[in-house]
Structure formats: C-alpha cells, structure tokens
C-alpha cells in the first residue's frame, strides 16, 4: 500500500483553500468569508475518508470546482458555497434539509439541481438523456446550476488521466456531445475550447500530441511575427489616445484539428493559426464608434478580406457575444484574423453568462433591451414545456440549437427575428405562429416567390403565404432546422399517423380472420419480422398507408406453412424475434442481407460497423446493439460521439490482438498530376508489391489533375500505412488519404 503523508496533505488542502479565498476576495461582502469557511469545513469533514481514482483526497475536487467558478467563470459567494458542497448530499449522509438549515434555501436549490444531474454514466440511454433534460430544466430556474456543473465537468476532464480507457471515452464523448456546446451557448469560450481540446486528447491522442508539438515548434517564429505585425497598429492607437491591450494567441488544438479534417489539409496549410485581439477601454455609449475607428486604423496598414468581416457589435450573437472580426493580409503574405472589442465585450466573451449579469444593471439603467442570452433561456424553457417526445429526440433538437450561428431576418412590418443559421421560410413561419407554419405553402422573400425550403440569408424580409388546404407532411422535417418547427410538425404528423395506424391494424385483423389465423402478440411479432419493420406500429402504419399490400399477408401464411414442412421434427414456438428473423433470411435465400464473416469470427460473434470499416490496428470500441450482437466501431467513427455519450452503458472495451490473415475492406483517395501509365504504376504497387486484392477502382481526370478512389482488402493498419507510403512514392502522386 502507498504510504500517505497526512500532514503534507492537510497543508496542501489548506493551501488550495487559501488560494480560493484569495481569488474570491475582490467580490466578497461582509460575512461572506465566514460563510465560505463554514461550507469548506462541512465538505472537508464529510469527504475526509474519501479518495479520488488518482489516490488524492476527495476534497481537492470540490475545491478545484469552486476555484473554476471564481477564476474562470466569475461567480460569487453562493456559487462558491454550492460548489464546495455539491457532492455532500450525494456521497454522504447529509440531506437537503440539513443544507437548507445551515446554508439557506438558495444554496439548497442549487445543490438539489446539481444532485438531479448526477449518475449520468450509469444508466441506460434514455435515462442518460432524461438526466440531461432534468439538468436543462434547472437551467431555466437558476443558470448557476449549469455553470457549476460545467466547472465540475471541466475538473473531471482535467483529471481524466486516472480513469480506465472505456470510462475516458464515455466521459469525453458525453462532454463533447453536450457540455462543450452548452459552454459555447453560455458564452464561456475559454472553457468550451479547453473541453474540446481535452476531448481530442483522450479520443485521438496521436493527433492531439502532433498538433501540440507543431504549435510549440512554431511558437518563437509566431511570436516574432505577431510583434512585427502589431507594432504599427500600436503606435497609431497611442497617437489617437486609446487605452488598450493587444493579445496574440494561437487557435485551440481542436479548432486546428477541425480545419485540417474539414478541408483535408496538413497542419502547414491551416492559414489562420492564430488571432490578434485588440481590447480597448471605452465608455458604453462610445463603444461602437471606437471599435470602428480601431478597424479603420488596422485597415490603414493591412488590406482586409471583404468576405471575412463579421460585425457582432450591431447585432450580437444569441449568447451575448459582441466583437468585430476581420481577416487582413500581412506584409509577409499571411492572412491574420484581427478581433476588435472593448473591455466589457471581452469580459462577456471570456466569462459568458456571469459577466453578462454584471453588466445587465448598467444596460438596464441606460434603457437597453435584454440580451439574446435571456431570450434563449426563455426559448429553452418553452422548448422543455412543449416537449413530450422521447428524451433522446429532445436532446438532438436541443443540441441542434446550441451550436448554430444565427441569421437575422425581418417580418413585412420590419420586426427583427433571429433564427439559427440554415433556417428556411418554413422555420420562419413556425416562428411567427404554429397555425401559420402548419398552413404555409410558400413565401415571398424580398418580394420574390420562394418554396417553403428556401434558406434565409441575413437581412431578408419574409412574408408567409398560407392555404387552409395545406397540412404538414413527413418531408417537412427535412426542410426545417429549429426545434420549435420540428416539434410542431412531429405533433401534427403524430395525429395523422395515429389514425393511419388504427386503419392498418383493422385491415390486419380482418385479413387474419379471413385466413383463419389468430390475432395475438406472437403472430404480430412474426408479421413485423417477416415484413422487416422495426415495431408493430410501423407495420400497421405501412399497411394503413398501402406500402405493405394487405394481400401480401397471405404470403406470410404460405411462409409459415413452408416453415412447418421444413422443420417438422423440431416444431415448436420460435423463441424470440431474432431467431425468427434468421429463419426468414435462410428461407428467403442467400442474397437477402447476409453477412460474410471470416473463419474465426463466428466464435467471438461481432460485426464490423459499416459506418467506419475498422481494420486491425485501429483504436476501437465494442457497442452492444439490440438485434445484431456486438458491433465494432473506430473511436474516430462519425457516429462514435453519439453512441458513447447517449448509450454509454452499452459500450464495452475492444482491442485487436494478433490476427490471422483475414482481409478487411478499406478505402483510399488518391490525388495527383495525370500522366501516361500512372494507373498502371498504381495498380502495380497494389497488386504486385504488396499482394493486395482490389474490390474497385474509380478514376477521374480533369485538366491534367488525376483523382481516384480505390477500395481494397488489407490485413491491418500497418499493412494500410505501408501501402499509403508506397503509393505516395509513385511519380505524379501528390496525396493519398484513407476514407471511411
């Protein structure tokens, strides 16, 4: 057993506690320090026997969470006390009543909210989403619950090192799925970036390490460049009498990774690796004019890119973010992003909601309207109240609303409406009123007739056209992006679907009566499997709609007769629907969706996921599906994020051990300059040198540029990497990349 120096630990705990008080000091009122001390003593006593996975005393965690609340979010005494006590009710025999008695109703409510969100990792998928929904309900009561939860999550992510691998994947994915978007929406950019970086560190550690190393390599030259770049601007700002600070900082690891991935480019080609931020001191009334004056100074020295000007001062983003962004060309031919903002705007950008509260009274005193953030919280509240669908559906809608940029559009009378980026005329119609949305047949955008799925742009003026004969259809869900519109369309379709299902059920009952067959749950389950529908209701719906012809139910009876003939000796009930499905497949013939699995793979009984085609050597995890056993996914699979965060309990560890010669399908994309004999050289490398079987090759050549995709069978990632390396050496080939 490891010897623990208790005296040293006690000193360290006190050191951390004093640091917390030191940070909080500027905002403490009389009596606050005593209140915090009382909370610290209770937490310290309550957790004294507990240790974290890393072996450290548990009290470090609430202390660190409280420190994040103060230092990085800027919250006050109530939040510090709640952060210190946030695990006491859950982990010890303290009750909420005890908290209320000793610390008052406000702290008790926040801790109650935080306790409701616990245990997110242990339950089934819908339970997890249900927990998220509970957490968001508390958002509309007291936003501090979410802010402390974000601080808690940030500390968990910073100490993820000591967790087992599958837990790391689960917690990191959940963070990326919900907490990073929430931090973004509440304007906590520094926390959002750190959560994203930590997600990458634990899910794709090689890429993370590579980018960090590259950023460090370029640090000296980058700092030198920034110094030269800002020198003339600083000089002119001094001349014009501005009080200011200039910061140059690299983009976050995750945003660089995203750029590399989206644009399929190496690190060296990411052109805006860093941003220069100019923060000026300015009176509230002069802010706008001052920022534009600084913009004018910047563009006197450097030529701006007109497509990259973003004015979030005139119309702030929904999370309260205000800033002026421009991208300019430096004297060395490099694009540089310049952000111009005031101290107040920078405070809100860094600390989000907490800072927004600080300035709220000043703005109210000057008669300014409430910010987009308040409106958004009201929207969340109405979304929560109107939502009666499944919790997972709700989560998808909610997440959709978190990360969107906005478009600003106007009603015919000139009223401004803010919608998510990508919103359509139909979204706008539902934004006005449910009835208007349900009867929408088209719109006039800037006096021109457009269809309902027309995407709106900033500054559009929109008039909705309606008809009493119109009603929502399934396709409408593809034409909207707002949760409100989706929820209302689904409600209308549910009503419609219900009546079709009732009709379908009656047809099935009638048909079975005619064929002298019983109508019971077993027969219905077999019908569902035979017609390959997911649920009995879906089967009824398809019958009601006429997709499944009622006469074809007779073929099901013939099939059952045939099955009796085939399996006379072992006649009995089909045990479950999956075995029935297997029998259907064997009777319907080999072409029917059969899986080809190598000689040893049946023993382990797993399936390789089609979405990411993992091959030996890839970093993978197993996912227990409902009908198809264990599926193996790559951790970088496009679906991994949702599976790991929403269905964490069904994730199991998986890794490759030494494999006999089994071939796995992989895809390569090749780009190069065209020349005679290039294809021949490529196929030579594949077939002769490395003895690889190709499944398909498609090639396209245009104006001397050659682009091709090859699907081939390989044994492992090493095998594939060797192939990529050899192909890259072929004369004329510029780039070889793997695709899913």
Give 295-342 pLDDT, tens digit per residue. Answer: 999 999 999 988 888 888 888 877 678 899 999 998 888 888 899 999
Structural domains of the chain in order of their starting residue, each with its CATH number:
6-162 (1.10.3210.10), 217-365 (3.30.460.10), 373-481 (3.10.20.30), 492-587 (no CATH), 601-653 (no CATH), 664-739 (3.30.70.260)
Number of helices (H) and strands (E) in the chain: give both, helices first: 31, 19
Give 625-680 pLDDT, tens digit per residue. Answer: 877 777 888 888 888 888 887 777 777 777 665 444 566 788 888 888 878 888 88
Residue 245 above 70 pLDDT?
yes
CA angle 310, 317, 385 (to 5 degrees): 155
Residue 588 above 80 pLDDT?
no
Residue 121 above 50 pLDDT?
no
Residue 604 above 80 pLDDT?
no
Residue 123 above 60 pLDDT?
no
| HEC profile of 249-283 | EECCHHHHHHHHHHHCCCHHHCCCCEEEEEEECCC
This model's pTM is above 0.75 = no
Name which of 152, 155, 148 is nearest 54 in CA terms: 155
d(CA 50, CA 58): 5
Cα-based distances in Å from 9 to 16, 56, 413: 11, 9, 67
Give 166-179 pLDDT, tens digit per residue. Answer: 888 888 888 888 78
Q: How many CB atoms lie within 10 A of CB 303?
A: 9
Phi and psi at 338, nearest 5°, equal: -115, 130
> For the residues 142-147, what does the mean pLDDT come to?
80
Phi and psi at 667, nearest 5°, equal: -120, 140
> What is the model's pLDDT at position 125?
44
Contact status, residue 716 vs residue 617, Cβ threshold 8 Å:
yes
What contacts 396, CB < 8 A, 6 or more positions away?
Answer: none
Q: Is 91 a catalytic residue?
A: yes
Lowest mean pLDDT of 65-74, 96-105, 138-147, 415-424, name the range.
Answer: 138-147
Q: Is 681 a catalytic residue?
A: no
**Residue 427 burial by Cβ neighbours in a 10 Å radius (0-12, 13-18, 19+):** buried
Residue tagged 């979204």 (tokens): 427
d(CA 118, CA 91): 11
**Helices 60-68 & 144-158, crossing angle to 10 degrees?**
120
Task: Show the DSSP H helices in 483-605 as ranges.
Answer: 483-514, 521-530, 536-545, 553-566, 577-588, 601-604
Of 8, 45, 71, 91, the catalytic one is 91
Residue 415 above 90 pLDDT?
no
Sheet with strand 630-634: strands edge to edge? 606-608, 630-634, 620-624, 651-653
Of 56, 71, 72, 90, the catalytic one is 90
> What is the model's pLDDT at position 268?
81
Give 693-724 pLDDT, tens digit per residue. Answer: 777 888 887 777 888 888 888 877 888 888 88
Name which of 135, 163, 160, 162 is nearest 149 in CA terms: 135
Give 484-510 pLDDT, tens digit per residue. Answer: 888 888 888 888 788 888 888 888 888
Residue tagged 């479950």 (tokens): 576
> What is the model's pLDDT at position 9?
85
d(CA 196, CA 193): 5
Token pair for 43: 């937490």
Contact status, residue 533 vs residue 493, Cβ threshold 8 Å:
no
d(CA 356, CA 74): 10
d(CA 219, CA 575): 65
d(CA 698, CA 679): 10
Beta bridge partners of 706: 672, 701
| HEC profile of 679-692 | HHHHHHHHHHHCCC
For the chain, report the end-to-end CA distance as a whole number of angstroms: 47
- Return the H-helix or E-strand segment holding 696: strand 693-702
> For the residues 233-245, what does the mean pLDDT come to?
92
Q: Which long-range contacts (CB under 8 A, 24 or more apart) does 556-559 make?
A: 556/526, 556/527, 556/530, 556/531, 557/515, 557/517, 559/530, 559/584, 559/587
Name which of 722, 671, 670 is nearest 692 in CA terms: 722
How far is C-alpha 256 from the chain's CA centre?
17
Residue tagged 């003339």 (tokens): 232
């Amino acid at each position: 057993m490891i010897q623990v120096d208790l005296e040293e630990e006690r000193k360290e705990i006190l050191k951390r506690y004093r640091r917390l008080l030191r940070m909080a000091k500027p905002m403490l009122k009389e009596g606050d320090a005593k209140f915090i001390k009382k909370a610290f003593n209770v937490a310290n006593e309550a957790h004294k026997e507990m240790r974290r996975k890393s072996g450290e005393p548990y009290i470090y965690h609430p202390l660190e969470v409280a420190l994040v609340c103060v230092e990085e979010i800027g919250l006050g005494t109530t939040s510090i006390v709640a952060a210190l006590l946030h695990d006491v009710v859950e982990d010890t025999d303290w009750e909420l009543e005890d908290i209320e008695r000793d610390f008052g109703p406000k702290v008790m409510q926040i801790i109650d909210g935080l306790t409701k969100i616990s245990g997110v990792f242990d339950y089934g998928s819908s339970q997890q989403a249900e927990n998220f929904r509970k957490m968001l309900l508390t958002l509309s009561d007291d936003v501090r619950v979410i802010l402390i939860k974000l601080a808690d999550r940030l500390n968990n992510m910073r100490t993820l090192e000591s967790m087992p691998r599958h837990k790391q994947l689960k917690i990191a994915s959940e963070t990326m799925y919900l907490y990073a978007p929430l931090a973004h929406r509440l304007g906590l950019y520094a926390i959002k970036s750190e959560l994203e970086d930590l997600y990458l560190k634990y899910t794709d550690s090689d890429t993370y390490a590579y980018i960090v190393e590259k950023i460090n390599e370029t640090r000296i030259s980058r700092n030198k460049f920034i110094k030269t770049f800002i020198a003339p601007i600083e000089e002119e700002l001094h001349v014009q009498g501005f009080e200011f600070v200039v910061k140059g900082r690299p983009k976050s690891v995750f945003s660089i990774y995203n750029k590399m991935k989206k644009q399929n480019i190496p690190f060296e080609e990411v052109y805006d690796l860093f941003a220069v931020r100019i923060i000026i001191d300015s009176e509230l009334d002069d802010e706008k004019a001052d920022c534009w004056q600084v913009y004018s100074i910047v563009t006197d020295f450097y030529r701006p890119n007109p497509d990259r000007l973003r004015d979030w001062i005139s119309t702030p983003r929904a999370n309260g973010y205000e800033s002026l962004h421009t991208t300019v060309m430096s004297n060395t031919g490099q694009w540089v992003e310049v952000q111009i903002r005031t101290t107040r705007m920078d405070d809100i950008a860094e600390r989000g909601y907490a800072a927004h509260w600080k300035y709220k009274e000043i703005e109210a005193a000057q008669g300014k309207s409430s910010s987009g953030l308040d409106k958004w919280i009201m929207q969340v509240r109405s979304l929560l109240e109107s939502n009666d669908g499944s919790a997972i559906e709700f989560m998808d809608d909610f997440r959709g609303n978190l990360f969107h940029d906005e478009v600003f559009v106007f009603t015919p009378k000139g009223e401004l409406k803010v919608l998510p980026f990508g919103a359509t005329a139909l979204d706008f119609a539902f934004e006005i009123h449910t009835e208007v949305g349900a009867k929408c047949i088209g719109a006039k955008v800037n006096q021109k007739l457009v269809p309902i799925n027309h995407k709106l742009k900033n500054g559009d003026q929109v008039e909705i056209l309606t008809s009493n004969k119109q009603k929502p259809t399934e396709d409408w869900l593809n034409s909207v992006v707002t949760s409100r519109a989706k929820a209302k369309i689904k409600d209308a379709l549910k009503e419609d679907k219900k009546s079709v299902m009732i009709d379908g059920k009656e047809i099935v009952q009638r048909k079975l009566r005619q064929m002298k067959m019983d109508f019971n749950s077993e027969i219905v389950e077999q019908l569902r499997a035979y017609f390959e529908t997911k649920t009995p209701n879906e089967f009824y719906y398809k019958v009601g709609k006429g997709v499944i012809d009622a006469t074809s139910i007779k073929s099901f009876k013939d099939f059952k007769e045939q099955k009796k003939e085939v399996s006379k000796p072992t006649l009995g009930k089909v045990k479950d629907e999956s075995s029935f499905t297997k029998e259907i497949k064997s009777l319907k013939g080999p072409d029917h969706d059969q899986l080809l699995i190598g000689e040893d793979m049946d023993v382990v009984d797993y399936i390789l996921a089609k979405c990411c085609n993992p091959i030996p050597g890839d970093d993978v995890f197993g996912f227990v599906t409902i009908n198809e056993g264990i599926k193996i996914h790559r951790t970088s699979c496009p679906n991994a994020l949702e599976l790991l965060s929403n269905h964490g309990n069904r994730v199991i560890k998986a890794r490759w051990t030494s494999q006999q010669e089994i071939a796995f399908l992989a895809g390569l994309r090749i780009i190069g300059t065209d020349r005679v004999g290039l294809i021949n050289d490529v196929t030579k490398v594949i077939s002769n040198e490395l003895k690889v079987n190709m499944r398909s090759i498609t090639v396209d050549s245009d104006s001397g540029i050659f682009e091709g995709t090859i699907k081939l069978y390989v044994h492992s990632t090493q095998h594939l990497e060797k192939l990529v390396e050899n192909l890259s050496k072929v004369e004329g080939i510029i780039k070889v990349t793997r695709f899913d």
